[in-house]
């Protein structure tokens, strides 16, 4: 029984050693235009927050929210805070 186990293990390991690796995909030298098109294809087509009609005047936003019976989001930023790139 032990001899059979040794033979089976030997055959399995021998077959693993002889297996050829799968060929790596060949990358083409992409032009800047092709690379840009590939990047754009990966981006989502639409962002929900871009669909929102933002108001810069609080009073106009409040009036519209009341008319449409929708909630309002008030985003307050101190001077210089919106420009530093942090959320």
Per-residue pLDDT tens for 2-40? 666 766 656 566 666 565 666 666 666 678 888 888 888
Average pLDDT over residues 77-86: 61
User: What pTM, to 2 d.p., does this model score?
Assistant: 0.36
Q: With respect to residue 32, please indicate whether it lies within any of the assigned structural domains.
A: no
Is the pLDDT higher at 4 or at 54? Answer: 54
**Burial classification of residue 76, based on how many CB atoms lie within 10 Å of its CB (0-12 exposed, 13-18 middle, 19 or more buried):** exposed
Q: With respect to residue 41, please indicate whether it lies within any of the assigned structural domains.
A: no
Q: With respect to residue 69, please indicate whether it lies within any of the assigned structural domains.
A: yes
Please give the tally of structural domains in the chain: 1
Q: With respect to residue 73, please indicate whether it lies within any of the assigned structural domains.
A: yes
- pLDDT score recorded for residue 76: 78
Domain that includes residue 78, residue range: 53-87
- pLDDT score recorded for residue 71: 92
């Amino acid at each position: 029984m032990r001899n059979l186990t040794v033979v089976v293990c030997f055959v399995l390991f021998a077959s693993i050693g002889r297996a050829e690796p799968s060929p790596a995909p060949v990358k083409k030298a992409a032009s800047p235009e092709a690379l840009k098109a590939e990047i754009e294809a990966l981006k989502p087509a639409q962002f929900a927050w871009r669909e929102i009609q933002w108001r810069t005047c609080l009073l106009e936003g409040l009036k519209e929210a009341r008319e449409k019976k929708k909630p309002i989001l008030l985003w307050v930023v101190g001077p210089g805070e919106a420009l530093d790139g942090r959320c």
